[in-house]
């Protein structure tokens, strides 16, 4: 991340008037920025160009997990920089990377037993139920709840509770037991997807048809049609009827 000193208020070329400015502290350094911006846009306004700590800018990628406090409060709060609106006197630091342990495995060979998760991540047994992970999660996931489910070996419960995880890593950064919760959850979801839920029967049927070449002639015929003929078929309700809701 590169940065430049913030400009004094009166030099703002922007349309924001000075009464609408608030002060934020980026890693302790003060900047005056227009209110109502997200943390990410406020930092860019202040002169930062992100390399780390910025990803999809839409709340899905987990690159911009940000920890902050406000003045006169001991409480640590969190938010995604791309989604959280700034407040006056906000002290910010981004945690774009946190070193994490990840087990490696061959999904095809995994057995969906109650012991699978704990065998790959034995440290989950060290959970002291402090709930720091749940409190810090910007996605409001019940992280401790799914760690407890992982200890019980209930992969489906872990998968369901953790589904909205964007793997920002903030939970792992706070865990006194040094658990990497989001990697445990990822393993559980993959076990559920690959080993516990039944495979789609209609998909197997279609794959068989593709293998025997049954589907091919109809597609081949269409690839030979010109624009006019294709258009006629496309708009012909008998050829291309729409499946009702």
Q: Give residues 61-90 in contact with another protein (rule: CB under 8 A).
A: 61, 63, 83-85
Residue 131, interface with another protein (CB under 8 A)? no
Q: Taking CB under 8 A as the criterion, which residues in 133-152 touch another protein? A: 139-140
- Distance of CA 12 to CAs 15, 34, 45, 46, 113, Å? 8, 10, 10, 11, 61
Residue 244 and residue 187: Cα distance in Å, rounded? 38
Q: How far apart are CB 69 and another protein at their closest, in Å?
A: 19
Q: How far is the CB of 133 from another protein (least distance, A)?
A: 18
Q: In 3D, which of 161, 146, 142, 152 has the Cα closest to residue 116?
A: 152
In the chain, which residue ranges form alpha helices assigned H by DSSP? Answer: 39-46, 116-120, 132-136, 143-152, 155-162, 170-174, 181-191, 201-212, 216-223, 227-235
In angstroms, the CA 65 to CA 168 distance is 6
CB 1 → another protein: shortest distance, Å? 9
**Is residue 101 near another protein by the rule CB under 8 A?**
no
Helix, strand, coil distribution of the chain in percent, nearest 5: 40, 15, 45
CA gyration radius, the chain: 26
DSSP 175-192: -TT---HHHHHHHHHHHI
CB closer to another protein, 128 vs 230: 230
Burial degree of 214 (CB within 10 A; 0-12, 13-18, 19+)? exposed
Q: Does 153 bind another protein (CB under 8 A)?
A: no
Q: Is the CB of 75 or the CB of 199 nearer to another protein?
A: 199
Tell me if 9 contacts another protein by CB under 8 A: no
* Selected binder of another protein within 9, 29, 102, 119 (CB under 8 A): 102
**Footprint of another protein on 162-221 (CB under 8 A):** 163-164, 166-167, 186, 189-195, 197-207, 210, 215-216, 218-221
For another protein, give the closer residue by CB, 76 or 216: 216
**Residue closer to another protein, measured from CB, 129 or 223:** 223
Could you tell me the two tokens for 139?
């996605």
Do the beta carbons of residue 113 and residue 153 sit within 8 Å? yes
Among the listed residues 15, 19, 104, 129, the single contact to another protein using CB under 8 A:
104
In the structure encoding, which two tokens stand for residue 239, read together?
């050829």
Compute the least distance from the CB of residue 131 to another protein, in Å: 20
By CB under 8 A, the residues from 35 to 54 that bind another protein are: 36-38, 41, 44-45, 47-52, 54
Cβ 15 to another protein, closest distance in Å? 11
Nearer to another protein, 20 or 128 (CB): 20
């Amino acid at each position: 991340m590169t940065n430049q000193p913030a400009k004094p208020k009166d030099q703002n070329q922007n349309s924001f008037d000075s009464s609408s400015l608030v002060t934020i502290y980026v890693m302790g350094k003060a900047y005056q920025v227009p209110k109502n911006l997200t943390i990410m846009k406020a930092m860019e306004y202040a002169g930062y160009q992100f390399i780390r700590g910025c990803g999809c800018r839409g709340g899905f990628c987990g690159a911009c997990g940000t920890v902050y406090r406000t003045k006169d409060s001991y409480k640590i709060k969190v938010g995604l920089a791309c989604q959280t609106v700034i407040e006056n006197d906000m002290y910010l630091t981004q945690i774009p990377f946190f070193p994490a342990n990840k087990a490696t495995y061959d999904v095809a060979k995994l057995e969906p037993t109650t012991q699978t998760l704990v065998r790959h991540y034995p440290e989950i047994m060290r959970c002291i139920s402090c709930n720091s992970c749940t409190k810090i999660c910007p996605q409001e996931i019940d992280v401790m709840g799914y760690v407890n489910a992982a200890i019980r070996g209930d992969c489906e419960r872990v998968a369901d509770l953790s589904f909205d995880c964007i793997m920002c890593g903030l939970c792992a950064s706070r865990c006194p037991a040094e658990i990497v919760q989001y990697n445990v959850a990822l393993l559980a979801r993959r076990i559920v997807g690959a080993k516990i839920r039944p495979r789609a029967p209609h998909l197997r049927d279609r794959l068989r048809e593709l293998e025997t070449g049954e589907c091919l002639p109809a597609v081949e015929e269409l690839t030979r049609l010109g624009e006019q003929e294709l258009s006629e078929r496309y708009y012909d309700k008998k050829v291309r009827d729409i499946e009702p809701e």
